[in-house]
Amino acid sequence: MNAKNIIVGTDFSKGSYVALDVATDIANKLIANIELIWVCKEKNLFSDEQTESLRGLAMEKLSTLAKEYGKKLTKTTIEWKVLDGKVATVIAKEAERINASMIVIGTNGASGFEKYWMGSTAVRIVQEANCPTLSIREGFNYHKNLERIVAPLNMTENSRQKIPVVANMAKIFGSTVHLLGLIEQRSEESTIDIYLHQAEKYLSDMGIPFVSEKMLTKNLSADTLEYAESISADLIIITTEQENILSTLFIGTHAQQIIHHSLIPVLSSHPRDIGSLAR
């Protein structure tokens, strides 16, 4: 069987190193190759000489990282590339070219505008990529086992499409799944009960342990994050909701808020892009 592929985007920040650590662990469990990418996006800010100097330094760092992390991969390999252009577009196109199973990116956990900008970069990658994207904050403890996965379910049909991915990740890592049914009014309770039952049956049939809870909410994203933090979750898995049915360029505000603000890793995908992680 051919190995899967994981893309890791790096800017050599602490957050991106955490992402590479996590990606290496995932690659060993998925039997996946890693492609480490640095995107040169500052051509308009520097002279040609300065740009080439940046590229040279990046290539040295990438080579060093590939050698270091290549030793941690048990059955696969790590390669590196320097590419030019807009970060989200370049990474998304490369993921499509190599049929990547996942993109892993780190954010630096900064505050204020920089935190928002890093979150926005992650959102843009999620928007453009045709495979799930895992975004990880700098402070995440990657040495901890992936014990608890939160899978929020709301009234949209698409929210259930994450369950095969949730099940596969839980199976790979031996995790317990925490299904969180979110309703905004009591009249939705019977429908969310059906959705929860369907998800429970799927997980039960696969022999995956789960906990199921239901919550009345006024803010889907805030309550998802609060719940995940209250149980010390290790991963949140979401499907992005399209707010404009005429466009696939914009994801729903709830998904954006979770990606922006979560201190816990978030695995995001479009409903149409569940892909090979579910197989």
3-class SS string, 127-187: HHCCCCEEEEECCCCCCCCCCEEEEEECCCHHHHHHHHHHHHHHHHHCCEEEEEEEECCHH
110-129: average pLDDT: 64
81/58 Cα distance (integer angstroms): 9
Q: Is the pLDDT of residue 119 over 70?
A: no
> In this model, does residue 41 exceed pLDDT 90?
no
Question: What confidence score (pLDDT) does residue 278 get?
Answer: 52
Q: Assess contact for 180 and 151: CB atoms under 8 A.
A: yes
Least confident among 10-14, 50-54, 76-80, 245-249: 245-249
Look at residue 112 and tell me whether its pLDDT is greater than 70: no
State pTM to two decimals: 0.86
Q: What is the mean pLDDT of residues 215-223?
A: 92
Residue 89, pLDDT above cutoff 90: yes
Q: How many other β-carbons are positioned within 10 Å of the β-carbon of residue 48?
A: 8
State residue 146's pLDDT score. 87
User: Which residues of 19-146 form beta strands (DSSP E)?
Assistant: 32-40, 78-84, 102-107, 133-137
Confidence of residue 50 (pLDDT cuts 50, 70, 90): confident
Q: Comparing 251 with 185, which gets the higher pLDDT? A: 185
What's the DSSP call for residue 75? S
Structure tokens belonging to residue 14: 């602490």
**Which of 152, 128, 141, 168 has the alpha carbon at shortest distance from 273?**
128
Provide the b/e sequence for 216-239 (b: ≥16 CB within 10 Å). Answer: ebeebbebbbebbeeeebbbbbbb
pLDDT number for residue 124: 85
Q: What pLDDT sits at residue 82?
A: 95
Three-state DSSP at 245 gives coil
